[in-house]
């Protein structure tokens, strides 16, 4: 497993360029497009998580849609980190004791 961390805390979320999103009823609203730097940070974080490093987090300072994506990503990676730690603990118990009957709590 590789252990590279994205520079998520070093890149600030900027104000992207405006774009129009059209709804089914013909109206449109202006939204900010993601800044390329933000997407680079998201990609680096996803690749880091894919490589097994569950300590990676996206900036909690992001707002709007980017902030919701960051919060969701951080929740998912935290759950994966917790599960990986529990699997490691269970593996150690089984490896040490050779037992499957130990209760987890």
* Whether pTM exceeds 0.85: no
Quote the tokens at residue 80: 């994966």
- Establish if 5 belongs to a structural domain: no
Positive or negative, the CA dihedral 65, 66, 67, 69 is: positive
Domain residues for 73? 35-97
- Establish if 9 belongs to a structural domain: no
- Establish if 1 belongs to a structural domain: no
Q: What percent of the chain has pLDDT over 90?
A: 50
pLDDT grade for 102, boundaries at 50, 70 and 90: low
- Establish if 43 belongs to a structural domain: yes
Q: What is the pLDDT of residues 58-90, one digit of tens each?
A: 999 999 999 999 999 999 999 999 999 999 999
User: pLDDT value at position 71?
Assistant: 97
The answer for residues whose C-beta is within 8 angstroms of residue 38's C-beta and 6 or more apart is 11, 13, 14, 16, 62, 66
- Establish if 68 belongs to a structural domain: yes
CA separation for the pair 100, 94 (Å, rounded): 6
CB atoms within 10 A of CB 78: 13
Number of domains in the chain: 1
Question: What rounded mean pLDDT belongs to the chain?
Answer: 75
Give 5 or 62, the one with higher predicted confidence.
62
Q: What is the pLDDT of residues 27-41, one digit of tens each?
A: 555 555 557 778 999
pLDDT grade for 100, boundaries at 50, 70 and 90: low
């Amino acid at each position: 497993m590789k252990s590279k961390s994205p520079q998520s805390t070093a890149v600030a979320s900027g104000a992207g360029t405006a774009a129009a999103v059209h709804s089914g009823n013909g109206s449109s609203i202006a939204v900010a497009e993601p800044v390329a730097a933000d997407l680079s940070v998201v990609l680096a974080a996803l690749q880091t998580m894919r490589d097994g490093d569950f300590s990676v987090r996206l900036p909690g300072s992001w707002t709007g849609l980017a902030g919701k994506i960051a919060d969701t990503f951080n929740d998912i990676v935290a759950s994966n980190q917790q599960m990986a730690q529990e699997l490691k603990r269970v593996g150690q118990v089984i490896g040490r004791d050779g037992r499957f009957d130990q209760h987890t709590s």
